[in-house]
Amino acid sequence: MKRTFSIAMAFVGLTVGAGFATGQEVIQYFISFGLNGIWGAVLAGIVMTLAGSVILQVGSYFLADEHRMVFRNVAHPIVSRFLDVSVTITLFAVGFVMLAGAGSNLEQQFGLPAWAGALLMTGVVLAAGMLDVEKVSQVIGALTPLIIIAVIFAFVYTMINMPSDTSHLNEIAMAEESPVSPWFVSALNYNGLALLLGVSMSLVIGGNYASPKEAGMGGLMGGVLYTIMLIIAAITLYLNIETVQGSDVPMLAMMDDISPVLGVIMAIIIFFMIFNTAIGMFYALGKRLTASTDKSFRPVFVVVTLIGYGISFVGFDTLMTYVYPVIGYIGLVMIVVMIVWWLRSRARIFAESKRRDRIHELAHAREHDDEEYTDEDRQELRKLVGESNIEDKELHETITDEVKSEIPDEELEK
């Protein structure tokens, strides 16, 4: 359960990201359609839950350490190449935009020069990128509760202080611009955008866990939490549309309106959410570019992050207006490819999940002197590892590491 929750929080942290935290994407993709935008949030949440669970489970099934090998296994070579190039370009483009966004956020709230704020974020991303994938996912997951608390607080405050007359809000909301229409297409495009941004790191996070069942449950749990957050964020921003209309950072404007102190706190939370997105982009990009050798990951990661900082002052408006919708449609193609493959392969995934759970049980017994581990168990373990879709050595090492990581906790309980 602990691992499932960790997967869920990391997934939410990746998919929430900076656009959600600022409120800008929620306004553009949902609230700009008035009340229909709330139904759009419901639709987007359902798709996110299903697709997120599939992506994380597929990542676990292949023990993925980058997205290309997964695409090669689930799609036609031409489609696989198209998705690989699209994701790789998207990772870099959104990565450097996040660095620029961090600079703008700190400049708006604290008056810090934009280049300095972007440099600060670059330094934090570089430091986090020196960690292994498990620790990176833990960092992302650990920061996620901040935005959850902020969104829930804003929702409760809004409900308590809700205006008596809301009839005029729909007209104000629909005056906001949206890059895609109608509302249901906008909701699906948002799914494609969020998941294409998060698919690479989500596959890597899923691939860090040997149990596809565990990874899939983490995706379901994360998707449900994401859906709840998206709906209450949409409702909150809709009811506060008079305050936040025209704002570059609607969530920050709303918190500032409640209290300047809350505005400062929200600016810090947004910085952390930008970090979540930035580290997810650059870490996954580094993994993809060093797919043939892990030894070069760190220097490549450092170089691409520094290049990202160097071009982080490219305009954000162009990206939001023209590039994001295209990314969203490509993301929808990716979602369809992943779900179709999963539907065709679910029997194999289920069988492999049972196999790995049994391997985990046997490895657990082998590593504990107080448990019985017979020659028959050893033969069964060897047989099950040999039947897996993953190479014997890789699967053996992954599950052994998981079992050994559990030992300290168990010893503390005795």
Which residues, 6+ apart, have CB-to-CB distance to 361 below 8 Å? none
From 148, 147, 136, 198, select the one nearest 6 (Cα to Cα): 136
Domain count, the chain: 2
From 20, 172, 349, select the one nearest 29 (Cα to Cα): 20
Contact 20, 230 (CB under 8 A): yes
Percent of the chain with pLDDT over 90: 37
Q: Are residues 330 and 308 in the same domain?
A: yes
Report the alpha-carbon distance of residue 60 to residue 362 in Å, rounded: 19
The pLDDT assigned to 48 comes to 93
Domain range enclosing 396: 352-413
| Token pair belonging to 70 | 């997964």
The pLDDT assigned to 321 comes to 65
Q: Are residues 244 and 103 in the same domain?
A: yes
Q: Are residues 121 and 192 in the same domain?
A: yes
Neighbours of 15 (CB within 10 A): 27
Q: Which one of 317, 343, 369 terminates a domain?
A: 343
Residues (pLDDT < 50) of the chain are 409-410, 412-414
Q: Are residues 35 and 88 in the same domain?
A: yes
From 154, 193, 224, select the one nearest 11 (Cα to Cα): 224
| Token pair belonging to 346 | 């679910």
- Please say whether the dihedral angle defined by the alpha carbons of residues 279, 280, 286 and 287, taken in this order, is positive or negative: positive
